[in-house]
Structures are given as C-alpha cells and as structure tokens.
C-alpha cells in the first residue's frame, strides 16, 4: 500500500462524508490538528510456490499537522506522521521508522517544503492511476525502494493560467550513511502540470543522481547492496479527465537505467467512479521490463463501501501476469479515520 493513502483518504473520503481531523488548538493564527487511522486487512497473495495469507496491519497512521500565519501573504506549516506500529499485534517498530516529516512556507509566491515526503513522480504521475488500499500497479519507484523520499526540498509554483511547475533537490551530505560519493551531492527533480476545466496533464523527471555508482539491478534497486554503475533516470507523464463522479487517467512511465538490460516502461489506464456510498475502481497496465523475457499485463480492481462518516470497508484483487502467478492475489479490509 502506498503511504500517500492517508492524505487522499482524509482529503477525499473524510471531507466528502463530513468526518474531520481533531483540531486541538486554533488561536491567534496558529492551528494544530491531530489525525490518524487504523487499517486492518486480510490478504492472500501467490508467491510462486504457494499462496500465503495474513491478517495484518495495512499502514495504520498517526500524525500532527500545524500551521501559523506569519503575515497576510505568508503561512508556515509542518507535518509529522508515524506509521511504525502494527495494529494487528499491538506492536511498535523501532525508532528508525516513520512516514513523513517536513516544514514549509506557502503564500502568493507558491510553496516551499523541506524534509521527508513522497516523491514528485509518485504524487503527480503514479497516484492518479492507482493509489489503492493494498494492490497498486507496478511503477519505477519499485526499482529503487523509495530511496528518493528523504532529505528533500521542493518548490511548487502557484497556478498561472492553468500552468504549475515544481522544482526540487535531494541532498546527501558527507555525514549521511546513504552518501555514495566523497562529498555532498544534490540531485535534481522537476515537473510541469497543466489544468484546464476537467482535464489535466503532468510530466515529471528525476535524475536519481545521489545513487550513481552505488546500487545496481541485482537486488531490484535494494539500497543495501552496492554495485558499479549509474542508477538511472525516471520519467513519467499522466493525463486525467473528470466527468462528474468518474475520473479517467492514463500514464506513460520509464525507468531509464544505465545498467545493461535493466530498463523498464509502464503504460497504464485507470478509472475511479464514486457511486455515492463509496468508490469502484480499476487499472490496466502494460509492463515492458528488460529483466523479464516477455512483456506482461497487470490488472487491478477494487471497491470501497462507507459504513459511516469515518469508517469504510474495501475489497481488491490483482493479476500480475508473472511466472507461477507471482503477485496475484486478493485482499479485504476495514479502515477507521479521524
């Protein structure tokens, strides 16, 4: 499950149904909200040799969001979000875990954010296709293990005639364990978005430069195993069109590796329809992965049902078209939001 689920769940399901995060302080231009969720799932997934199942936590989250007015045109804000506990077994992970933590300034000039949060290609290109409860279609982030989510600064412009752009960098200093060079290094990522009426299109590029000559294809982009060579680049374009309660999306995404026989391309179509008491949704994706012998197809389908303003159930299924049915499965779950 993607860790961006909470943001979309609160902004979408909760706002639409009337449920709200708890405002614990709101005075003299300063506001502090407390929010969270408990997510539980039962899933069964084929691992090639057999199907494995589990009653598991599905990304339960607890967080704080604050903002304060600095001037009429400038607001400071922060977010601190934890997902390092297991609701199914009443366990808490070690302190070397978490979800998002950042500070920022926003105003007429746009938005500047510093800290740890989802990558731009995740938010602008991948999420419109599948930002689901349990199963998502494959994407280029799966090649690199989420290493591009930390130590970042992003500037996002205001919308100007429907156009909006974002520019950012990830910096790894000499003291960082992830630093793979002899000195500090700053990568680059950026994106451009255009919206007119019910239509929008977004394109994103990330050079993944901090991980050059470090991590290779042997472990699928696992940052724990060093290898010779450059990691590569990410590119992606997504278009969306909304008609009432129906949202349609299309995606083209590429992981351009500097290793031989390690490129991957992803072409996807997605749809989501709000039927009043929840959503039904699905996606189809064509994957051309040089690590695999043949191209393959992925299909994801699911539905949610709202039990109340803050509680809903869901069911999803996935078909990956891989050898020995690896990755095929089904899952059901329940989520309570506040």
Which tens digits make up the pLDDT trace of 100-132? 899 999 999 999 999 999 999 999 999 999 999
Contact at 8 Å (CB) between 57 and 86? Answer: yes
Q: State the total domains in the chain.
A: 1
Per-residue tokens: 299? 């299909």
Is pLDDT of 221 > 80?
A: no
CATH, residue 267: 2.40.160.10
Is pLDDT of 163 > 80?
A: yes
pLDDT of res. 74: 96
Is pLDDT of 4 > 50?
A: no
For the purposes of burial, counting CB atoms within 10 Å of the CB of 178, is it exposed (0-12), middle (13-18) or buried (19 or more)?
middle
19 contact partners, CB below 8 Å, separation of at least 6: 13, 308, 309, 310, 337, 338
> Quick check: helix, strand or coil at residue 173?
coil
Per-residue tokens: 55? 């009653």
Domain that holds residue 29: 5-337
Which tens digits make up the pLDDT trace of 244-263? 999 999 999 999 887 777 88
Which tens digits make up the pLDDT trace of 297-310? 999 999 999 999 99
Is pLDDT of 215 > 60?
A: no
Question: pLDDT band at 10, cuts 50/70/90?
Answer: very low
Is pLDDT of 265 > 90?
A: yes
Q: pTM for this one?
A: 0.86
CB atoms within 10 A of CB 97: 11
**What is the C-alpha to C-alpha distance for residues 20 and 36, in angstroms, rounded to an integer?**
10
Per-residue tokens: 49? 């040799």
């Amino acid at each position: 499950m993607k860790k961006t689920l909470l943001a979309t769940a609160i902004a979408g399901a909760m706002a639409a149904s009337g449920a709200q995060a708890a405002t614990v302080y709101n005075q003299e231009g300063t506001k502090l909200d407390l929010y969270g969720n408990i997510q539980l799932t039962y899933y069964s997934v084929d691992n090639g040799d057999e199907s494995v199942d589990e009653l598991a936590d599905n990304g339960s989250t607890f967080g704080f969001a604050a903002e304060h007015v600095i001037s009429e045109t400038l607001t400071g804000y922060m977010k601190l979000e934890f997902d390092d506990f297991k609701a199914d077994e009443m366990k808490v992970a070690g302190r070397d875990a978490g979800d998002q933590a950042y500070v920022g300034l926003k105003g007429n000039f746009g938005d500047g954010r510093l800290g740890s949060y989802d990558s731009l290609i995740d938010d602008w290109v991948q999420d419109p296709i599948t930002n689901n409860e349990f199963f998502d279609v494959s994407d280029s982030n799966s090649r690199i293990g989420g290493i591009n989510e930390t130590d970042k600064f992003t500037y996002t412009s205001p919308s100007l005639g429907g156009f909006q752009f974002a520019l950012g960098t990830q910096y790894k200093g000499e003291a960082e364990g992830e630093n793979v060079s002899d000195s500090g290094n700053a990568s680059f990522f950026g994106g451009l978005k255009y919206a007119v009426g019910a239509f929008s299109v977004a394109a994103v590029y990330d050079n993944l430069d901090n991980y050059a000559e470090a991590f290779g294809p042997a472990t699928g982009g696992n940052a724990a195993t060093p290898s010779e060579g450059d990691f590569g680049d990410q590119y992606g374009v997504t278009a969306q069109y909304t008609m009432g309660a129906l949202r349609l999306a299309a995606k083209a995404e590429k992981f351009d590796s500097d290793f031989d026989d390690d490129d991957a391309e992803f072409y996807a179509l997605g749809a989501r329809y709000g039927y009043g008491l929840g959503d039904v949704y699905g996606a189809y994706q064509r994957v051309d992965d040089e690590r695999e012998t043949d191209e393959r197809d992925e299909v994801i389908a699911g539905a949610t049902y709202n039990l109340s303003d803050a509680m809903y159930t869901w069911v999803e299924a996935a078909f990956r078209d891989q050898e020995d049915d690896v990755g095929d499965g089904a899952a059901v779950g329940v989520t309570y939001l506040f």
